Amino acid sequence: MSAPNGSAPVLRVDGLDVFYGGIQALRGVSLDVRKGELVTLIGCNGAGKSTTLKTVSGMLKPKAGKVVFQEQPIEGRPSHDIVRRGLALCPEGRRIFPNLTVDENLDLGAYIRSDRAEIRSDRDKMRGLFPILAERAKQLAGTLSGGEQQMLAIARALMSRPKLLMLDEPSLGLAPKLVEQIFQVLANLKREHVTILLVEQNARQALQVADRGYVLETGRIVKDGPARALADDPDVRKAYLGG
Amino acid sequence: MDFDKLLNFWGHHLVMAGVWIALALSLNLINGFTGLFSLGHQGFWGVGAYVTAVVLTVLPAEMGWADAGMLSFLMTFPLAMLVAALFGLIVGVPCLRMRGDYLAIATLGFGEIFRNIAINSEWLGTSQGLSVPNVFRAFLQEQIGLERMAARRAEMFFYIALSWAVALLTLLLLRNLMRSAHGRAITAIRDDETAAELLGVNLTRYKVLVFVLGAALAGLAGAVYANYQRYVSPNQFGFMQGVIFLVIVVMGGMGSFSGTILAALLIYAVPVFLTFAPDTWVIPIFYDPTQGGVVHRSLKDLWQVFFSLMLIIVVLLRPQGLMGNREFSLVKLWRRLFGKKSESASTSGEAGA
């Protein structure tokens, strides 16, 4: 809401250095995400994609660098505070609450909100977006299949009405058909103007759905640009798209 | 048997059972519902009991006040809660800011430190303990004008009612907490801390809140206990007592109120009923030729064996505890027993899931 002209980025990451003990995981990572964009961060295992998201969401503290969200510095703030500012992370491995029902999981997604009527209408909206969640509303979330759990995790993150949704490997460990479904969901969300930062190992499909992309290698951004240009880049093709 | 003897025997056990239920419930909030691991519940219980003794015995003597009256008696309950909560805050805040099992070690330490301070402090009565004046009986005899026997009976009924009222208060408070939005946040913390925090749940705040509330409720039970028992001493609040509360929580089901109540009653009642076993009921314990072969012991002395046996059986057959994380409900029971086939099938399906 604070950047109606869309010129100031929703999220700006500037020169991020992050360490795990003595090991440096990120080296001067900079990126930005504008309103309504779907930006993807691709790279191999251990390149620092998840580290980037964890740092932005407050689970890790950077040694140096800035994270600016809606023109407010948020680096080093606790996660629960960052969520309240409108930045939601749908974590790797889904992390739904298996012993709660699907509906209870969704309600927890709206934990930071108190507008009951709106929450209810958002829940209905999620059921429209993910029909499976309506079918399984009263079922324990642990009984859902992997793909259904991923849908629930995304819906739960959306229930906080984020101004930016960050997704960490939503296609991880899913059958090819379900991966297809997840990317269809992302395309739908983009059509609804949800601003998304997507981390994926599945570079081919991530670049198909994204507006822009960044390529991360051993903690450094080595390339960035429009998704289509990246998909056509010979180096990217060779390294991530199988030639 | 005459009425007063019965009342003394069963009344005592009813009061103590109520105290145990209250303590086990508040421990289940911390260990079962929130997934923290406290080993110091007996310490907070002891703090509440000692606060009561200090208010009614030590302070009047030290300050040269008149003997404690009804007002002091009534004040012991909120004061015990407050001081126990304060200790909960002091122990909890540094540990609960971190992840992992620091709390277990710190609470274990707290329980022992508290006990050792009491043992080594003249003003807390050292290992002899402190006696607590029977303020309520004095009130009944002097203010109400009851005669001695009537006052004794009234006092026993009062403490039965008080201890069960405290157990009920604890139950209602915790049940309402768990049914609120806060309760859902607490459940989320237990199931997955990281996911909870990513939804905006302030982990430290909730953990401290739960821990301090649990400590305060243990303190309240301590005040009831000290006023009833009229005596506090360090070895009443030893580590093994805390282990028994922990066993009750595990046995009843981490995250079930009805399971906790059931287990507390069971574990309290078994040794009580064993005292009725006739002396001729003996079982062979070990073989020792110097004592003339096989040595027998009366069932009366073997409650610890039953205690261990019950625990082994529960852990083998129902590792999730008697009730798991479900609650006993008359409505559900009715449906299961008398409901239509389809209904009972759907409820058991839910339970199995």
What single-letter amino acid sits at B349?
G
Average pLDDT of B270-280? 85
- The predicted structure's pLDDT at residue A1: 40
Burial class (CB in 10 A: 0-12, 13-18, 19+), B353: exposed
Minimal Cβ distance to B187: which of A79, A83, A100: A100
Q: Which residues of A touch B196 (CB under 8 A)?
A: 108
Answer with the residue of higher pLDDT: B65 or B190.
B190
In whole angstroms, what separates CA A227 from the centre of its chain? Answer: 17
Structure tokens at A65: 């660098």
The answer to whether the CB of B78 falls within 8 A of the CB of B254 is no
d(CA B196, nearest CA chain A) in Å: 8
Any idea what DSSP says for residue B353?
-
**DSSP E strand stretches across A119-228:** 164-168, 196-200, 212-217, 220-226
For B:168-227, CB contacts with A below 8 A are 181, 184-185, 187-188, 191-192, 194-203
Structure tokens at B277: 């076993």
Rounded distance between C-alpha atoms, residue B84 and residue B42, angstroms: 11
Greatest Cα-to-Cα distance within chain A, rounded to the nearest angstrom: 51
Residues 6 or more apart whose CB falls under 8 angstroms from that of B140 comprise: B146, B150, B151, B154, B155
Structure tokens at B322: 């008697």
Residues 6 or more apart whose CB falls under 8 angstroms from that of A171 comprise: A150, A178, A179, A182, A183, A200, A201, A202, A205
Contact B198 A139 (CB under 8 A): no
Minimal Cβ distance to A97: which of B192, B197, B200: B192
Rounded distance between C-alpha atoms, residue B328 and residue B259, angstroms: 8
The answer to whether the CB of A76 falls within 8 A of the CB of A22 is no
Contact A80 B202 (CB under 8 A): yes
What single-letter amino acid sits at A241?
L
Global pTM reads 0.88
Q: How confident is the model at residue B169 (pLDDT cuts 50, 70, 90)?
A: very high
> For the sheet containing A72-73, what is the strand order?
A23-33, A11-20, A64-69, A72-73
A140 in contact with chain B, both atoms CB, cutoff 8 A: yes
d(CA A35, nearest CA chain B) in Å: 22
What single-letter amino acid sits at B286?
F
Structure tokens at A49: 């994609």
List the pLDDT tens digit at each of the 243 positions of chain A.
Answer: 444 445 689 999 999 999 999 999 999 999 999 999 999 999 998 899 999 999 999 999 999 999 999 999 999 899 999 999 999 999 999 999 998 999 999 999 999 999 999 999 999 999 998 999 999 999 999 999 999 999 999 999 999 999 999 999 999 988 899 899 999 999 999 999 999 999 998 999 999 999 999 999 999 999 999 999 999 999 999 988 876
Q: Which residues of A touch B181 (CB under 8 A)?
A: 111
DSSP string, B97-113: TSSSTHHHHHHHHHHHH
Best CA proximity match to B155, nearest among B31, B295, B8: B8
Rounded distance between C-alpha atoms, residue A230 and residue A224, angstroms: 7
Any idea what DSSP says for residue B68?
P
The answer to whether the CB of B115 falls within 8 A of the CB of B43 is yes
Structure tokens at B82: 């407050």
Strand partners, B257: none
B181: closest chain A residue by CA: A111
Q: Which of A82, A83, A89, A97 to mutate to test the interface with B (most CBs of B within 10 A)?
A: A97
The answer to whether the CB of B324 falls within 8 A of the CB of B256 is yes
The answer to whether the CB of A9 falls within 8 A of the CB of A66 is no
Neighbours of B60 (CB within 10 A): 17
Q: Which of A54, A101, A102, A108 to mutate to test the interface with B (most CBs of B within 10 A)?
A: A108
Contact B201 A143 (CB under 8 A): no
Best CA proximity match to A127, nearest among A156, A86, A98: A156
The answer to whether the CB of A223 falls within 8 A of the CB of A235 is yes
Q: Which residues of A touch B184 (CB under 8 A)?
A: 100, 104, 107-108, 111
Q: Which of B191, B199, B203 to mutate to test the interface with A (most CBs of A within 10 A)?
A: B199
Minimal Cβ distance to B200: which of A100, A140, A160: A160
Average pLDDT of B88-95? 94
Any idea what DSSP says for residue B318?
-
Contact B199 A109 (CB under 8 A): yes
**DSSP E strand stretches across A35-163:** 38-43, 64-69, 72-73, 87-90
B185: closest chain A residue by CA: A108
Rounded distance between C-alpha atoms, residue A131 and residue A151, angstroms: 10
Strand partners, A140: A101
Answer with the residue of higher pLDDT: A89 or B61.
A89
- The predicted structure's pLDDT at residue B248: 94
The answer to whether the CB of B101 falls within 8 A of the CB of B37 is yes
ipTM of this predicted complex? Answer: 0.89
What single-letter amino acid sits at B36?
L
The answer to whether the CB of B80 falls within 8 A of the CB of B52 is yes
DSSP string, B148-201: HHHHHHHHHHHHHHHHHHHHHHHHHHHHHHHHSHHHHHHHHHHH-HHHHHHTT-
Structure tokens at A71: 């023109």
- Rounded to 5°, the CA angle B230-B235-B241 comes to 100
**pLDDT exceeds 80 at position B99:** no
Mean pLDDT score across all residues of chain B: 90
Greatest Cα-to-Cα distance within chain B, rounded to the nearest angstrom: 72
Reported as a single tens digit per residue, the pLDDT across B10-60 is 999 999 999 999 999 999 999 999 999 999 999 999 999 999 999 999 998
Best CA proximity match to A50, nearest among A242, A212, A237, A199: A199
Q: Which of A99, A143, A160 to mutate to test the interface with B (most CBs of B within 10 A)?
A: A99
